[in-house]
Amino acid sequence: MALQPLPANAVIGILGGGQLGRMTALAAAPLGYRCHIYDPDADGGPAAQVSFAATSAAWDDWAALDAFAEAVDVVTYEFENVPVATVEYLMKRVAVRPGPMALEVAQHRVTEKSFARDQGLETAQFWGVTTLDELIDGLSAVGVPAILKTCRLGYDGKGQIRVDMESSLATVWEELGSDDAILERMVPFVTEVSVIAARGADGEIACFPVTENSHEDGILRRSVVPARVSDAVAAAARKAAETLIDGLDIVGLLAVEMFVTEDAEVLINEVAPRPHNSGHWTQNGCATSQFEQFVRAVAGLPLGPTDILYESEMLNLIGDDVDKVSGYLRDPDAHVHLYGKAEARPGRKMGHVNRRLSPRRG
- Tell me if 157 is assigned to a ligand binding site: yes
- Tell me if 162 is assigned to a ligand binding site: no
d(CA 231, CA 228): 9
- Tell me if 166 is assigned to a ligand binding site: no
- Tell me if 91 is assigned to a ligand binding site: no
d(CA 310, CA 30): 22
d(CA 269, CA 187): 10
- Tell me if 185 is assigned to a ligand binding site: yes
- The residue count for the chain: 362
- Tell me if 159 is assigned to a ligand binding site: yes
In what order do the strands lie in the sheet containing 126-129? 126-129, 181-185, 146-150, 160-163
Q: Show the 3-state SS of 199-268.
A: ECCCCCEEECCCEEEEEECCEEEEEEECCCCCHHHHHHHHHHHHHHHHHCCCCEEEEEEEEEECCCCEEE
- Residue 123 is given by DSSP the state B
- Tell me if 158 is assigned to a ligand binding site: yes
- Tell me if 186 is assigned to a ligand binding site: yes
Exposure of 89 in the CB half-sphere (CA atoms within 13 A): 18
Residues with Cβ < 8 Å from 77, sequence gap 6 or more?
14, 15, 16, 87, 98, 103, 273, 274
- Tell me if 160 is assigned to a ligand binding site: yes
- Tell me if 319 is assigned to a ligand binding site: no
d(CA 201, CA 196): 17
28 to 13, 23, 31, 291, 297: CA distances (angstroms): 11, 9, 5, 8, 11
- Tell me if 117 is assigned to a ligand binding site: no
- Tell me if 156 is assigned to a ligand binding site: yes
d(CA 189, CA 145): 13
- Tell me if 269 is assigned to a ligand binding site: yes
CB contact at 8 A, 328 and 316: no
Q: What are phi and psi of 36, to 5 degrees?
A: -120, 120
Q: Which residues are part of a known binding site? A: 109, 149, 154-160, 184-187, 192, 215, 269-270
Q: Which residues are part of a known binding site for ATP? A: 109, 149, 154-160, 184-187, 192, 215, 269-270
